[in-house]
């Protein structure tokens, strides 16, 4: 969700200043549908990211870093 500047009416809770609830519900529904549609891709991507981080960690251990330093360098 993007940050945005709100009006004083929104800050004070004025009903006229609040975004339309139906629009917010529709936006949330769209975002949920997108998340559901792309979950498989997201999981696969995270698998590859984890594989690369593990390879980096193993390489750091092989060249002589201790486990704690290798973990810090992988963050």
pLDDT tens readout for residues 26-44:
889 999 999 999 999 999 9
Task: Enter the tokens of residue 60.
Answer: 């750091």
Q: In this predicted structure, what is the pLDDT of residue 17?
A: 47
How confident is the prediction for the chain on average, in pLDDT?
A: 87
Helices 67-74 and 21-62 sit at what angle, rounded to 10 degrees? 140
**What pLDDT band is residue 18 in, cutting at 50, 70 and 90?**
low
- Statement: residue 75 has pLDDT above 80: yes
| Range with lowest mean pLDDT among 12-16, 37-41, 46-50, 60-64 | 12-16
């Amino acid at each position: 969700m993007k940050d945005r500047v709100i009006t004083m009416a929104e800050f004070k809770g004025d009903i006229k200043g609040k975004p339309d609830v139906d629009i917010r519900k529709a936006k949330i529904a769209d975002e949920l549908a997108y998340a559901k549609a792309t979950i498989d891709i997201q999981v696969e991507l995270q698998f590859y990211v984890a594989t690369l981080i593990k390879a980096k960690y193993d390489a750091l251990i092989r060249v002589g870093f201790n486990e704690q330093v290798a973990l810090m360098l992988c963050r």
